[in-house]
Amino acid sequence: MQIYGLCFIVEQEIKPIPLQNVAVEANIVDMIAEVTISQVYKNIEEDTIEALYKFPIYEAAAICGFEAEIDGQRKVKGIVKEAKEAAKEYNEAIQKGHGAYLLESESEDVFQCSVGNITSGQTVVIKITYVTELKHDSESEKIRFVLPTNIAPRYGSSEYSSSSNDGKILNPDVVSYSNKADFYLELAVTCRMTSAIQNIESPSHKISTEMNIEGNPKISKITLTEQITYLEKDFILVVKSKDLDQPRAFVEYNPETQTNCIMLTLVPKFSLNTTISELVFVVDRSGSMGVEPMKKAAQALELLLRSLPEDCYFNVVSFGSDYDSLFPKSELYSETTLSEALNLAQTMKSNYRGTKVYNVLEWVFKNSRDDMSTSIFLITDGEVRNVDQIVELVSKHEEEKNDDLRLFSLGIGDSVSHNLVESVARAGKGYAQFVTNDERMDKKVIGMLKNALKPPIKDYNITWTEVNLLDEKELDMTPIEVDKPTISFMSDDNIEPPPPPPSDIFTDIKVQQAPYIIPPIYSGVRFIVYCILEKNIEPWKVITLKATSQDGPMKLDIPLDPVTLQGSKIHRLAARKLIQDLNDKKSFIHKHPKNANKHIPDSLVKEHIVKLAKTFNLASKYTSFIAIDERNNESLFESQIIPQIREVPQLIKSYGRRRMLTGEARQEDYLKSLCSFNGSNGFNNFKQEIEKELSELSEKEIEEILTSCIAIAYLKIVMFDDFKDECEMCYEKAEKAFKKMIGNNEKEKIIIEKAEESIKNWVNNSD
């Protein structure tokens, strides 16, 4: 098992900082949890060091607290600032010898903490607090609490670069692991439910449960019965409580913002007639699926296949680095087609190498039927990096098919990437479920299939207050000024010209529904929507939910709980949803009818995310937590000798995991590949394409062009990430020689694109 920790490098040798203790304290109240993770690190080296570590957080969580405690004497609380400003303050503090602690978002579910100037012998306790809503489990009256503890290696490279990460101190492709852990996890979970707790269980770990705390059947405490190493695998807790699924609406008042926030939640139970559908099962068979997850995925597929109705059309598509389908197009469900599909399910292995989700989904969308609704089931461990691109693809096709396309996702394994699994289901207007290697999945899988066979519910509307979400009078129509970016004298990064200033964009509303587009309602699946009301606006005593189904109109009145809660937890969860909307381009700004066909600049989106994050104290794509421990003269003297910036070492994984190679290792592999290029089918294909484009040239001239374009593509795609300064002149020289040899702009572009594609394929195949 690979253990993730805080590491640094001294003279090319990895020096782990011993993790002294890890403590997790979670408080669950109905369907909301607040979690504080405390990690104790001690510098046992002689020198002052600067280090970083990464940790996973559940995709829907809102990080709202960050604190460092130094030697048990001083506490420094983190403040939310714009990411670039926070990184600048961190660097300045390090240079001055102060202690500095920075928390940054790498992705929706991975965060990085930079810990600066840990002096010799010093102990630092890092505390991270987050709030999260809890998913409904497969059975009624149950919630599922997940504590992610493993950062699974992700397929593909990160999209971050020095010019696109908003000045963060991030190294996204670096993941450092240690094979030894001399520490254990302390875990304490307290459940306080509205009704009596009926059962508590963990499908992942052995637990000790104390029920009826102080004679109260609504309160219980949970701890681990065995000593386990932190980061072994995700911790999962399932709690059953009476009436947990009943419709509830309650309001929270935040004294700091002087606003009310309503939370509406229920687990609906209704029946609709099924409709003839196309069902496409997309199964991850990449190396990362390993043995047990692949076995579980095959079992899920077989269960789905055997449960299909006779009048449906279906297909099975396997994917990894490549993909293939059982049928060219979906076939009618019959004894023959079922037999073929079952044979495939029973012989599946995780032998498709990488995890290219984008490519396979693109094929599925293009080949789906247009004479009936399509439901796609994605079964995967979700270990990819290009989540944003995949989500955009799903959103685009879902909108094009206008409610006739839905995507459901099933996360398989003990360390699933919740970010991908949740995000694609949200974009595809389906929902996500998760199954560990040791869990039963029948109810989850069959429940998902039943919902997929029912026609989608449409025309959702929630009445929160007398102010209508679409009322023009409540909207501020403000022309937005877009300033031209300031060009630095010390940066040669190309500056994209700003878009033309937008006009008449609605940006200010009194009622902020989160998410703005009401998520689809499915029987047996928890439904949660929030609404932040502007100061002095009161909610109605009864919240009304309406929608339209194929079988007729639907309506539910939910009385507002008469007790007003005090605090910020629900506000923060709502703000997290609003930020998610902005990132997904599904926000009020993007989707309000009055903003239709208007260009929404990224700068405006960023401005709103930053404002929400600062108001509600949240880490986000554009904001970070920064904490500075200002030291006295004596302490400063101890930390004057600061090691140079150290990067966490990269890890070369064994087969079935992403190999994270350094530039030198890639170069060595590439040179080996060059020696046998003529034996590579991919290279031969590329060579034949070039010969076709340049048929008028001699074989020697084509060989020279081939060598040049491959070199250009290799430098750009592989070497530029880490060695741009060293390679730039070689690149420019090769590019000039190449252009001179071709002498045709159109052909130059075609050949370079093919060369880049060839190099990308080589990189992916070497992973």
Whether 380 has a pLDDT exceeding 50, the answer reads yes
Distance CA 175, CA 651 (A): 7
Average pLDDT, integer, range 123-149: 89
Distance CA 582, CA 605 (A): 6
Instruction: For residue 168, give the amino acid letter.
Output: K
Distance CA 373, CA 454 (A): 10
Strand partners, 369: none
For domain 246-272+457-469+508-619, which architecture applies? Answer: Sandwich (2.60)
Q: Chain-centre distance of CA 579, in angstroms?
A: 13
Distance CA 422, CA 419 (A): 6
- Please tell me the least confidently modeled range out of 36-45, 278-287, 348-357: 36-45
Supply the pLDDT for residue 58: 85
Name the residue among 455, 390, 459, 454 with its Cα closest to residue 422. 390
Distance CA 618, CA 611 (A): 10
Distance CA 143, CA 521 (A): 17
Q: 21: helix, coil or strand?
A: strand
Name the residue among 49, 144, 38 with its Cα closest to residue 416. 144
The answer to whether the Cα torsion of 623, 629, 633, 635 is positive or negative is: negative
Supply the pLDDT for residue 19: 65
More confident residue, 132 or 650: 132
Cα 431 to Cα 159, 362, 409, 449: the distances in Å are 26, 19, 7, 11
Domains 5-154+172-245 and 246-272+457-469+508-619 share a fold: yes
pLDDT in tens, 157-183: 555 444 456 678 876 555 555 555 566
Whether 644 has a pLDDT exceeding 50, the answer reads no
Determine how β-strand 185-192 pairs with β-strand 7-10: unpaired
Supply the pLDDT for residue 700: 83
Supply the pLDDT for residue 54: 78
State the alpha helices, DSSP H only, in 617-680. 633-638, 663-675
**Token representation of residue 141:** 């009256």
Whether 637 has a pLDDT exceeding 90, the answer reads no
More confident residue, 562 or 733: 562
Instruction: State the number of CA atoms in the 13 A half-sphere of 702 facing the CB.
Output: 14
Distance CA 493, CA 495 (A): 6
Q: What is the 3-state secondary structure (H, E, C) of 451-462?
A: HHCCCCCEEEEE
* Angle, CA of 272, 274 and 278, to the nearest 5°: 140
- Please tell me the least confidently modeled range out of 3-12, 228-237, 543-552: 3-12
Average pLDDT, integer, range 310-330: 96
Binned at pLDDT 50, 70 and 90, residue 633 comes out as: low
- Please tell me the least confidently modeled range out of 216-230, 356-370, 570-584, 735-749: 735-749
**Rg over CA atoms, the chain:** 27
Supply the pLDDT for residue 12: 52
Supply the pLDDT for residue 230: 59
Instruction: State the number of CA atoms in the 13 A half-sphere of 84 facing the CB.
Output: 8
More confident residue, 656 or 69: 69
Task: Judge contact between 288 and 383, C-beta under 8 A.
Answer: yes
Whether 447 has a pLDDT exceeding 50, the answer reads yes
**Token representation of residue 148:** 């992610």
The answer to whether the Cα torsion of 291, 295, 296, 297 is positive or negative is: positive
Supply the pLDDT for residue 744: 83
Strands (E), 86-152: 99-105, 110-118, 123-133, 135-136, 142-147
More confident residue, 686 or 357: 357
Strand partners, 532: 261, 512
- Please tell me the least confidently modeled range out of 139-148, 420-429, 517-526: 139-148
Binned at pLDDT 50, 70 and 90, residue 409 comes out as: very high
Binned at pLDDT 50, 70 and 90, residue 376 comes out as: very high
Whether 320 has a pLDDT exceeding 70, the answer reads yes
Supply the pLDDT for residue 473: 41
The structural domains of the chain, with segments of one domain joined by +, span 5-154+172-245, 246-272+457-469+508-619, 278-453, 665-765
Whether 471 has a pLDDT exceeding 60, the answer reads no
- Please tell me the least confidently modeled range out of 377-391, 534-548, 709-723: 709-723
Whether 14 has a pLDDT exceeding 70, the answer reads no
Name the residue among 72, 38, 26, 6 with its Cα closest to residue 185. 38
Calculate the average pLDDT of the chain.
82
Distance CA 187, CA 571 (A): 27
Q: Buried (b) or exposed (e) across 96-125, using 16+ Cβ within 10 A? A: bbbbbbbbbbbbbbbbbbbbbbbbeebebb
Distance CA 642, CA 256 (A): 40
Supply the pLDDT for residue 22: 81
Number of helices (H) and strands (E), helices first, in the chain?
Answer: 16, 38
Residue whose entry in the numeric block shows the structure tokens 């009322």:
471
Strand order in the sheet with 185-192: 74-77, 62-70, 123-133, 32-42, 19-29, 185-192, 219-224, 207-210
Supply the pLDDT for residue 333: 95
Distance CA 638, CA 146 (A): 42
* Percent above pLDDT 70 for the chain: 80
pLDDT in tens, 51-75: 777 788 888 899 999 999 999 999 9
Phi, psi of 137 (to 5 degrees): -90, 180
**Token representation of residue 209:** 């449960």
The one-character DSSP state at 578 is: H
575, with CB counted inside 10 A (0-12, 13-18, 19+), is buried
Average pLDDT, integer, range 656-668: 33
Name the residue among 167, 226, 214, 218 with its Cα closest to residue 196. 218
**CB neighbourhood size of 500 (10 A):** 9
The answer to whether the Cα torsion of 654, 655, 658, 664 is positive or negative is: positive
Supply the pLDDT for residue 48: 83
- The class that CATH gives domain 5-154+172-245 is mainly beta
Binned at pLDDT 50, 70 and 90, residue 493 comes out as: low
Where does 278-453 sit in CATH, by number? 3.40.50.410
* Percent above pLDDT 90 for the chain: 52
Task: Judge contact between 20 and 123, C-beta under 8 A.
Answer: yes
More confident residue, 169 or 191: 191
Whether 646 has a pLDDT exceeding 50, the answer reads no
Binned at pLDDT 50, 70 and 90, residue 472 comes out as: very low
pTM reported for the whole predicted model: 0.78
Binned at pLDDT 50, 70 and 90, residue 655 comes out as: very low
Residue whose entry in the numeric block shows the structure tokens 């043995």:
291
Distance CA 250, CA 473 (A): 27
pLDDT in tens, 532-545: 999 999 999 999 99
Distance CA 286, CA 382 (A): 10
pLDDT in tens, 113-134: 888 888 888 998 989 999 999 9
Task: Judge contact between 230 and 24, C-beta under 8 A.
Answer: no
Name the residue among 238, 230, 180, 181 with its Cα closest to residue 204. 238
Whether 152 has a pLDDT exceeding 50, the answer reads yes
More confident residue, 689 or 525: 525
Supply the pLDDT for residue 336: 96
Contacts of 397 (CB under 8 A, 6+ apart): 365, 405
Average pLDDT, integer, range 412-422: 88
Whether 490 has a pLDDT exceeding 70, the answer reads no
More confident residue, 525 or 506: 525
Task: Judge contact between 108 and 419, C-beta under 8 A.
Answer: yes
**CB neighbourhood size of 137 (10 A):** 23
Binned at pLDDT 50, 70 and 90, residue 227 comes out as: confident
Distance CA 124, CA 86 (A): 20
Distance CA 474, CA 397 (A): 32
* Number of residues in the chain: 767
Average pLDDT, integer, range 740-755: 85
Contacts of 611 (CB under 8 A, 6+ apart): none
pLDDT in tens, 262-292: 999 999 998 889 999 999 999 999 998 999 9
More confident residue, 742 or 330: 330
Strands (E), 163-218: 177-178, 185-192, 197-201, 207-210
More confident residue, 14 or 675: 14
**CB neighbourhood size of 371 (10 A):** 8
